[in-house]
Amino acid sequence: MTDDDRGWADIHGSWGDAHAELYDLVFTSRGKNYENEADDITRIIRSRRPAAESLLDVACGTGAHLGRFGKAFDHTEGVELADAMRSVARRRLPGVSVHPGDMRTFDLGRTFDAVVCLGNAIACVETVADLRLAVDRLVRHLEPGGVLVVEPGWFPEQFLDGYVGGHLVEEERRIVSRVTHSTRQGDSARVEIKFVVAQPDGIREWTDVFLMRLFTRDEYVSAFEDAGCAVEFADIPWRLGERPHNAPGLFIAVRKDS
């Protein structure tokens, strides 16, 4: 089976235990600060809904942001498609509900003051129709007047075809190498990630591949507006330790009362 033959849920729900184990290690060693990012987003939410008490993190990954949000909000929950990532989040946050679910179809049966979807996860759906389904699901989990914060993927004009990246983490008894290669395939980016891990019991290596749709700003805005939100785009490279092309900014949407 080729990458093109696999559906979105197959690809993005298949991160294995090894990838999930190393996810936070790699990104924090590159300068990513989950606590600062969550605090920035909390300020954005509170600037628009000062009394916000509940938050849902969709595509919450390993729960690193969600754990910090739990310091600021009385009630938090998460949704994560990949079993391995969800398992890490549940171990990290034993008192928090982290639900299995596809962002296009999940239904928790309740609403929240704030919903967030970070890490470019929204761009990992396959089509514009999927994007609209996902945004509608996010908004349906918002209280009227609630705040939705979404980190998009690359816009088409930002994507660097053939981009390569690499990072090395050295610990006392483990060395982790992570290299990436990104190429354009029609309206999507194909991102190949190769890990090599050396430790006392030997060397292991594997390659993961995921697809990221290069949605336009207008496609995002239309999805938010048609789902019943007023939306703005914060055009800033807000993530610490990342190259600007990897940090397109944030969409900030507020669900209308009617």
CATH value at residue 189: 2.20.130.10
Are residues 147 and 113 in contact, defined by beta-carbon separation less than 8 angstroms? yes
More confident residue, 248 or 254: 254
Task: Give just the sign of the alpha carbon dihedral 99, 131, 84, 6.
Answer: positive
pLDDT at 191 over 60: yes
pLDDT at 238 over 90: no
Give the pLDDT band (50/70/90) at residue 18.
confident
Report DSSP letters for the chain, one per residue: --GGGS-HHHHHT---HHHHHHHHHHHHHTT--HHHHHHHHHHHHHHH-TT--EEEEET-TTSHHHHHHHHH-SEEEEEES-HHHHHHHHHH-TTSEEEE--TTT---S--EEEEEE-TTGGGGSSSHHHHHHHHHHHHHTEEEEEEEEE-----TTT--TTEEEEEEEE-SS-EEEEEEEEEEETTEEEEEEEEEEEETTEEEEEEEEEEEE---HHHHHHHHHHTTEEEEEE-S--STTS-GGG---EEEEEE---
- Pair 13, 71 in one domain: yes
- Pair 12, 89 in one domain: yes
Place of tokens 């060395």: 175
Give the pLDDT band (50/70/90) at residue 19.
confident
Give the C-alpha separation, 114 to 14, whole Å. Answer: 28
Structure tokens at 160: 């660097």
- Pair 67, 170 in one domain: no
- Pair 131, 239 in one domain: yes
Are residues 77 and 97 in contact, defined by beta-carbon separation less than 8 angstroms? yes
According to DSSP, the β-strands at 250-255 and 229-234 are: antiparallel
How much of the chain, in percent, has pLDDT values that exceed 90? 81
- Pair 128, 38 in one domain: yes
- Pair 129, 228 in one domain: yes
- Pair 207, 220 in one domain: no
Task: Give just the sign of the alpha carbon dihedral 216, 222, 227, 232.
Answer: positive
Q: What is the CATH number of the domain that holds 102?
A: 3.40.50.150
- Pair 123, 183 in one domain: no
User: Which range of residues forms the domain containing residue 38?
Assistant: 3-156+215-255
Structure tokens at 72: 């600021």
- Pair 54, 149 in one domain: yes
- The amino acid occupying position 36 is N
- Pair 138, 53 in one domain: yes
Average pLDDT over residues 67-91: 96
Give the pLDDT band (50/70/90) at residue 236.
low
Give the C-alpha separation, 122 to 150, whole Å. Answer: 7
Are residues 151 and 175 in contact, defined by beta-carbon separation less than 8 angstroms? no
- Pair 187, 79 in one domain: no
- Pair 76, 189 in one domain: no
Structure tokens at 143: 């209280």
Give the pLDDT band (50/70/90) at residue 237.
low
Tally of CB atoms within 10 A around 24 = 17
When divided into structural domains, the chain yields a total of: 2
- The amino acid occupying position 226 is D
Tally of CB atoms within 10 A around 158 = 14
